[in-house]
Structure 1
Amino acid sequence: MAPHTPSSSKLHSPPPYEDQTSPYFLPSSDNPGVQLVTQQLNGSNYINWNRSMITALMAKNKLAFVDGSIQRPLHSDLLYAQWLRCNSMVVSWLRNSVVPEISSSIMYIDDASLIWSDLRDRFSQGNFARICQLKQQLLTLKQGSEDVGAYFTKLRILWDEYKDFQPARWCTCDSCRCHSSRKWSEFQMQECSMQFLIGLNPSYSQIRSQIISTTPLPSLQKIFALVLQEERQRSIEQQSPVISTEIQGSMINATGTARGRGGKGKFLCTNCGKTSHTVDKLFELIGYPPGYGRGRGKSQGYSTEGNRSINQMSAPKAAVFPQGSPALSTSDMAKMISYLQTQMQVSSSPAPAQQISAPTKADVYNFGGVSPSVIASPPFSGSFTGDCDWEG
């Protein structure tokens, strides 16, 4: 019978530092400059930092170097050199994961487990004090001016930390029939759901009443989805009238038309609001075209300046006298009227008539600086007796 020989797998088993499942294994991607967590420890965020570091060290398979599972071996141990390499790597990661002020205080500690315990003793608060602080923050947490998403995120951060401090109820019976662990978890979720509904603004009272009256109570994620849907629906209802008004105004300004009854397009003036024309064709602003309204009392000038001149020509004759001219005396008026009557008789009679000298420059000055040629014929005929009823 052949002697028993050990299997080849046992004879050629790799050392621990070459086994990828061993804590002593260091892949090429690991280096001392790596920062395992994005949020560095600053003293007040120790609980969140601690949980993040535990997760990162477990992913690196190096948690045993900080929780005391692997102690420092003797110098004569074959794994001492490899332990020293792994320990130095974890120490570098811990120093990179804290702020510079805290890093300088642990610079001369070479054991990763000692650094871990030192940070825990310095920054870990007492459970009772922290629970009271979290409970107070939960009771005073309200939505306020924040949206539903931001309010829900704050609540979950506080509630998860508060739940972590509470003891977990485990089943004590021999064969589990009470499901105490599941019931305790459901109770925690119901408490968080009620806290979320209580902190909502009063405007969500209707949706809150509908959720509370539901049996059984929906899950926390379902409640958050319902409230978030209500918030989005309200935002759509508030924006709809504004959007429709802006679109309608932009269409009117762009095309100059508005839809009337029966779907037919009509012109719409943005100046007067009438539908017979547009603002770029409003005659009161751009002037009337030549020949417009002839025979109906409309002015025939195209521009507004022409309209003013035509209106001035059709004004009463007294309007041609310059403003501020001196008043005419009775004798001056009589001379002027006599001169005009003589000119009318000369033009209407073929026989030679007595020539009356035209007013001199001095007479024109006495008339108020107005030349007789610019004064039209008076609207009366016949002889003048000399009596002027202008004096009363």
Structure 2
Amino acid sequence: MDAPAFSDVEVNPNQRLSSVLLNEFNYFPWSRAVSLALGGRSKIGYVNGAIEAPVITSSTYELWLRKDQLVMSWLLNSTEIAEIFSYSESSMHLWKQVKEMYGNQNNVARVFQLKKNLASLQQGSKTFVQHLGSLTNMWNELDVYRPHTTDATVLIKRAKEDKIFQLLASLGPEFEDLRSHILMNAELPSFTGVCAIIQREEVRRKVMNQETKDSVSETRAYVSSNKRPEGKVYKGKRPDLKCSYCDSLGHIKDRCWILHTELKPKFLKETKGPEIKGTQKYLNNNSYMANHAATLSTEGMVNFTTNPAALINDFAAYLYSK
């Protein structure tokens, strides 16, 4: 029996080439890991063009196509964004598309994130080996973006960038959008320029907040001035109402207890004595009550009490007797 042309590993289209999956920020470490994996399988030539596609009529075309599609499956399985490249014509075409989209982009944002993560990383519940592995991965990725150099110009530029990174990392969460906007520039502004941008944003926020407060205050004032009196909630009597039946303030004729005894509170219904029209009008006149208090007592009013409800009924009975 002939030996199989491919091992089980080589013919598995669901295999991943690396534990590092491609996303928007890690092209360089991903491309290095995938290149090593393809080189170890003697398939790197399919993505770098060293193994060219034969003419479609060639007897070797079918074998080449089989291997190329296998490599393309591995590449797609090694990304988090496979749907973007799923219709690539070949593995080399896919490789070039990924490089054009992510390999030439500005990596300032990724450097900032790596430095921020390194500064805040804690061991937590990880073992020392796991913790060291996390640090090493970030150090290695940072070395890809910032390879070692003795060029004074490059070193000075990196030192200025680090100051900007520290400044942006110290900003509050309300500046997240501004921070992202600055980091996505093709070239970082100068430190002074970044400070000016942040100050302008702070002033803009203050102005917008003040305008919002003023708008809310105007809206509340408008609602208050145009609100119907019937919609107001009062605690106690309403001074804007006057009863046309007893001429008293605080209610209207439809709510008058004298005219509508069924509206009287329970504690007043339990008192005894007749109620007549005009009683409340006289009771509201404090000067009248003060001037005639002695007369009421000398003319034989019985059971005079300081209870307001009983006083109303007693005084009504007195007036009725007159």
Q: TM-score, normalised by structure 1?
A: 0.31
Q: TM-score, normalised by structure 2?
A: 0.37
Greater C-alpha Rg: 1
Higher helix share: 2
